[in-house]
């Protein structure tokens, strides 16, 4: 089962992408706890694209494999950007006063998803998460 | 202050204004999270900044009726240790 849709790269698309993912997670019979995790991670990825990529389009694909794994991929035509490489590690053992505020998003994605990957292909960034 | 729906990068700015506007001039600050479905790192940033403000004046940030999914994000980011839950 696979669903794919293109969205304009603008702030208003963030809500639309969340609704798209939520709807197709329901169509794929994905439980609500997993759907919430997917949406939290999707928010981190989409906000990075919207704020930094200078892309025109964001394509979102939701795939449910036979092995019950859900794969979501985000493709944008923006400047090369690998969030996995660019983001600093977050030291969550430090008290909040001493913590830098950046980097939390990708940290959460890595912690909450089973697989996270980035590749650059045909002048697009392809970020894929799976749970 | 009642938090509801989702706090994500699309609405974090509005939530931040609303939450800061509800900050009492003195005493602890209680956020009712019963109707909060999920919070992304954009929301965690608001919580951290609010915690710092309250800690500086020796008050607590209290989160009420936190759902499992919100609690998971608070725990993964290590923020849960610094908050008070009821």
Q: What is the pLDDT along chain A (131 residues), one digit of tens a residue?
A: 889 999 999 999 999 999 999 999 998 888 888 999 999 999 999 999 998 899 999 999 999 987 888 999 999 999 999 988 866 667 777 776 676 666 788 888 999 999 999 999 999 999 999 99
Count how many residues are written for chain A.
131
Count how many residues are written for chain B.
86
| Residue B77 in contact with partner chain A when CB distance is under 8 A | yes
Taking CB atoms and an 8 Å cutoff, what residues of chain B touch A15? Answer: 10
pTM, two decimal places:
0.88
CA of B84, closest CA in chain A: separation in Å? 14
**Could you give the residue ranges of the DSSP H alpha helices within chain A?**
13-27, 32-48, 83-86, 104-112
Give the neighbor-by-neighbor strand order of the sheet with B84-85: B2-7, B29-39, B61-64, B84-85
CA A122/CA A124 separation, integer angstroms: 5
CATH topology of domain B2-85: Transcription Regulator spoIIAA (3.30.750)
Alpha carbon A52 to its chain's center: 14
What the block records as the tokens of A72 is 């979501």
* Closest residue of chain B to A93, computed from CA coordinates: B78
Domains and CATH numbers, chain A: 2-130 (3.30.565.10)
A103 — phi, psi (to 5°)?
Answer: 85, -10
Chain B residues 15-54 within an 8 A CB cutoff of chain A? 37-42, 44-45, 48-49, 51-52
């Amino acid at each position: 089962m696979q669903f794919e849709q293109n969205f304009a790269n603008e702030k208003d698309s963030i809500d639309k992408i969340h609704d798209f993912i939520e709807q197709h997670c329901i169509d794929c019979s994905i439980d609500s706890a997993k759907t919430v995790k997917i949406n939290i991670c999707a928010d981190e990825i989409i906000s990075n694209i919207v704020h930094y990529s200078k892309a025109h389009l964001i394509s979102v694909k939701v795939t449910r494999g036979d092995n019950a794994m859900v794969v979501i991929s985000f493709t944008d035509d923006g400047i090369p950007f690998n969030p996995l490489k660019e983001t600093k590690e977050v030291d969550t053992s430090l008290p909040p006063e001493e913590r830098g505020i950046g980097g939390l998003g990708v940290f959460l994605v890595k912690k909450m998803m089973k697989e996270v990957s980035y590749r650059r292909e045909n002048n697009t960034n392809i970020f894929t998460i799976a749970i | 202050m009642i938090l509801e729906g989702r706090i994500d990068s699309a609405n974090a700015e509005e939530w931040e204004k609303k939450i800061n506007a509800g900050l009492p001039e003195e005493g602890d600050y209680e956020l009712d999270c019963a109707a909060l479905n999920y919070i992304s790192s954009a929301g965690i940033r608001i919580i951290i900044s609010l915690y710092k403000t309250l800690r500086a004046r020796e008050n607590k940030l209290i989160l009420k009726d936190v759902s499992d999914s919100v609690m998971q994000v608070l725990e993964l980011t290590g923020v849960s240790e610094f908050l008070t839950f009821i």
